[in-house]
């Protein structure tokens, strides 16, 4: 009874926009009448209202997934041209206005070819019209606006028209991405509070580099799980040397994982190193890259198990793979040359440079030899004169 009364009160309200104000937009509904914004924390729908009014309805008669709650209702926006009825609901399984969440899994391809389980979440639903006509017949066509957002959950982040005589149906599929919510930052302390500042001359070898990959403004149902992190000389690792810090089911012995898949941030640290091919250069420069998975809280533990992940020893860097832009990369990392091999050795107060001492001894010996030679020459010169 409560639902019926609420529905009657909704039907009783009229739109603020009149058909006469629509002008050329007063027409039959079309496939392009709905637009979908697949955000990182919410999904937005915008339905052109003039075709809705032309068909005999208004924004109060558009119902999202049979939900009559106020937060799930449309609001009229006349600030844009043409005016639209807007819906906005959060990306949350418990408060998504009846949207259907469906997670699919498939074997990875391309840059993800070493992963046997790559997930995508699809969020879909329908906006329907409610016919206020009472009686035996109606002259109003039924309106249905289907929407769909597909979000890949692994990052390195068609329109179809159906014509039915008794209804107007629009289907709009969009792709969303959480890549914009992900970031990587380097720190110099174990508490991850002091951002690392790398001087032009680089950091010392074996300096601990603390890495954090975190998500901001992301719906709370996903955690951050690092699948692989590696370093490469090039910002894009095409045809350049690389070194795996960790891969599925394996990691370098000097890499320490602090947190992974337990919250919306993942942390690890490693000691600074050099690439051997840069040993003749003053500093060694390289970049970090992390393939990052967003997993639902209830399934993160599953992806930590090696049975669902393929052990990887090398990285595929074919040109077709690195065209993907879903890679979170760090700032440039610069390490100094080993001090023991430095070409310039600074003097320490109170100590003498060994090379300077050796040079002084050599000069003294040479001067003594010259004096003796001059003395002998003088003696022979005197005898020859006599």
Q: What CATH number is attached to the domain comprising 313? A: 2.60.40.4100
Question: How far apart, in Å, are the Cα atoms of 375 and each of 362, 363, 366, 378?
Answer: 20, 19, 14, 5
Does one domain contain both 142 and 187? no
Q: Determine, yes or no, domain membership for 349.
A: no
Q: How confident is the model at residue 316 (pLDDT cuts 50, 70, 90)?
A: very low
Last residue of a domain, one of 341, 356, 373: 341
Q: Confirm whether 360 is domain-assigned.
A: no
User: Distance between CA atoms of 111 and 317, rounded to whole angstroms?
Assistant: 8
pLDDT 10s digits, 143-180: 889 999 988 887 752 222 233 334 455 666 667 888 77
Structural domain contains residue 106: yes
Per residue in 198-250, pLDDT (tens digit) is 888 888 888 999 999 988 888 888 899 998 888 888 777 666 788 899 887 78
CA atoms within 13 A on the CB side of 235: 4
Write down which residue in 175, 195, 226 finishes a domain: 175
- Write out the H or E segment, with its range, that includes residue 147: strand 142-152
Are 211 and 303 members of one domain?
Answer: yes
Q: Worst-scoring range by mean pLDDT, 168-177, 183-192, 206-215, 290-299?
A: 168-177
Model confidence pLDDT, tens digit, residues 243-279? 899 887 788 899 999 999 999 999 999 999 888 888 8
Question: Percentage of the chain surpassing pLDDT 70?
Answer: 70
Residue 281: what pLDDT? 83
256 and 218 inside one domain: yes
Task: State residue 383's pLDDT score.
Answer: 67
Q: What is the distance between the alpha carbons of residues 236 and 246, in angstroms, rounded to a whole number?
A: 18
373 has pLDDT over 90: no
In a shared domain, residues 152 and 221:
no
pLDDT tens for each residue of 94-148: 778 989 988 887 766 665 666 767 788 899 999 988 888 777 777 778 888 999 9
Same domain assignment for residues 121 and 55: yes
φ, ψ of residue 5 to 5 degrees: the values are -65, -40
Residues 161 and 73 in one domain: yes
Burial group, residue 173, by CB count within 10 angstroms (0-12, 13-18, 19+): middle
pLDDT of residue 95: 79
Q: Which residues contact 97 (CB under 8 A, 6 or more apart)?
A: 64, 65, 67, 69, 71, 72, 87, 89, 125
pLDDT at site 289: 86
| Domain harbouring 138, CATH code | 2.60.40.3210
What is the pLDDT confidence band of residue 45, given thresholds at 50, 70 and 90? very high
Choose one of 175, 205, 222: the last residue of a domain: 175
Nearest one of 147, 123, 150 to 62, comparing CA atoms: 147
Q: What share of the chain is helix, strand, coil (3-state, %, to 5)?
A: 20, 35, 40
Q: Across residues 325-349, what is the average pLDDT?
A: 55
> Which has the higher per-residue pLDDT, 377 or 10?
377
Cβ proximity of 127 and 134 under 8 Å: no
Q: Looking at the predicted structure, is the pLDDT value of residue 48 above 70?
A: yes
Instruction: Output the pLDDT for position 363.
Output: 64
Using CB atoms within 10 A of its CB, is residue 202 exposed (0-12), middle (13-18) or buried (19+)?
A: buried
- Does 243 fall in a domain? yes
Q: Residue 304: what are its φ and ψ, rounded to 5°?
A: -80, -15
Would you say residue 53 has pLDDT above 80? Answer: yes
Q: Are residues 219 and 115 in the same domain?
A: no
Is position 307 within any domain? Answer: yes
Burial (CB count <10 Å: 0-12, 13-18, 19+), residue 225? buried
Which structural domain, as residue segments, surrounds residue 7? 2-175
Choice among 16-20, 71-75, 129-133, 259-263 with the minimum mean pLDDT: 16-20
Assess whether 134 and 88 both reside in one domain. Answer: yes
Q: What are phi and psi of 356, to 5 degrees?
A: -65, -40
Cβ within 8 Å of residue 326, ≥6 positions away? 152, 154, 155, 156, 157, 177, 179
Closest CA to 262 of 215, 208, 328, 330: 215
Report yes or no on 356 lying in a domain: no
The answer to whether the bond into 146 is cis (omega within 30° of 0) is no
The SS3 of residue 334 is strand
pLDDT at residue 67 in the model: 87
pTM: 0.66
- Left if phi > 0, otherwise alpha if psi is -120 to 50, otherwise beta: which for 168? beta
Q: Is 297 part of a structural domain of the chain?
A: yes
Give the total number of structural domains in the chain: 2
Most confident of the ranges 18-22, 267-271, 289-293: 267-271
Query: Which of 173, 100, 99, 169 has the alpha carbon at shortest distance from 129?
Result: 169
Contact 310, 177 (CB under 8 A): no
Residue 109 and residue 31 in one domain: yes
What pLDDT, on a 0 to 100 scale, did the predictor assign at position 210?
94
Minimal CA–CA distance to 223: which of 266, 170, 161, 273? Answer: 266
Does position 326 have pLDDT exceeding 60, yes or no?
no
- Does residue 222 share a domain with residue 156? no
Radius of gyration of the chain (CA): 36
Q: Alpha-carbon dihedral of residues 101, 103, 109, 110, nearest 10 degrees?
A: 40
For residues 76-96, average pLDDT? 87
Same domain for 281 and 161: no
Mean pLDDT, the chain, integer: 76
Q: Looking at the domain assignment, is residue 374 inside a domain?
A: no
Mean pLDDT of 357-380: 68
User: Is the pLDDT at 376 greater than 80, yes or no?
Assistant: no
222 with 122, same domain: the answer is no
Residue 35 Cα to chain centre, angstroms: 25
């Amino acid at each position: 009874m409560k639902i019926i009364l609420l529905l009657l009160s909704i039907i009783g309200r009229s739109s603020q926009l009149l058909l006469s104000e629509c002008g050329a937009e007063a027409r039959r509904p079309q496939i392009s009448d709905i637009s979908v914004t697949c955000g990182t924390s919410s999904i937005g729908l915008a339905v052109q209202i003039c075709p809705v009014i032309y068909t005999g309805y208004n924004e109060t008669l558009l119902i999202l997934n049979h939900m009559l709650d106020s937060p799930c209702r449309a609001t009229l926006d006349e600030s844009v041209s043409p005016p639209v009825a807007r819906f906005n609901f959060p990306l949350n399984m418990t408060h998504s206005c009846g949207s259907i969440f469906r997670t699919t899994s498939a074997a990875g391809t391309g840059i993800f070819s070493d992963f046997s389980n790559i997930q995508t979440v699809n969020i879909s639903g329908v906006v329907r019209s409610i016919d206020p006509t009472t009686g035996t017949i109606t002259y109003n066509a039924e309106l249905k606006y289907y929407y769909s957002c597909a979000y890949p959950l692994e990052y390195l982040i068609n329109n179809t028209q159906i014509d039915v005589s008794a209804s107007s149906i629009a289907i709009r599929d969009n792709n969303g991405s959480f890549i914009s919510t992900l970031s990587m930052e380097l720190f110099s302390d174990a508490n991850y509070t002091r951002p690392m500042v790398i001087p032009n001359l680089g950091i010392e070898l074996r300096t601990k580099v603390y890495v954090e990959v975190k998500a901001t403004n992301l719906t709370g149902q996903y955690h951050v799980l690092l699948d692989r992190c590696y370093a490469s000389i090039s910002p894009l690792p095409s045809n350049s040397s690389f070194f795996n810090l960790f891969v599925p089911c394996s990691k370098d012995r000097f890499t320490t994982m602090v947190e992974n898949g337990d919250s919306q941030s993942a942390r690890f640290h490693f000691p600074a190193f050099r690439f051997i091919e840069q040993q003749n250069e003053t500093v060694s420069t390289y970049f970090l890259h992390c393939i990052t998975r967003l997993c639902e809280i209830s399934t993160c533990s599953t992806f930590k198990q090696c049975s669902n992940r393929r052990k990887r020893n090398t990285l595929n860097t074919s040109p077709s793979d690195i065209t993907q832009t879903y890679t979170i990369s760090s700032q440039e990392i610069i390490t100094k040359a080993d001090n023991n091999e430095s070409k310039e050795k600074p003097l320490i107060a109170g100590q003498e440079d060994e090379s300077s001492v050796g040079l002084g001894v050599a000069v003294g010996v040479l001067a003594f030899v010259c004096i003796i030679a001059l003395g002998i020459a003088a003696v022979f010169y005197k005898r020859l004169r006599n």
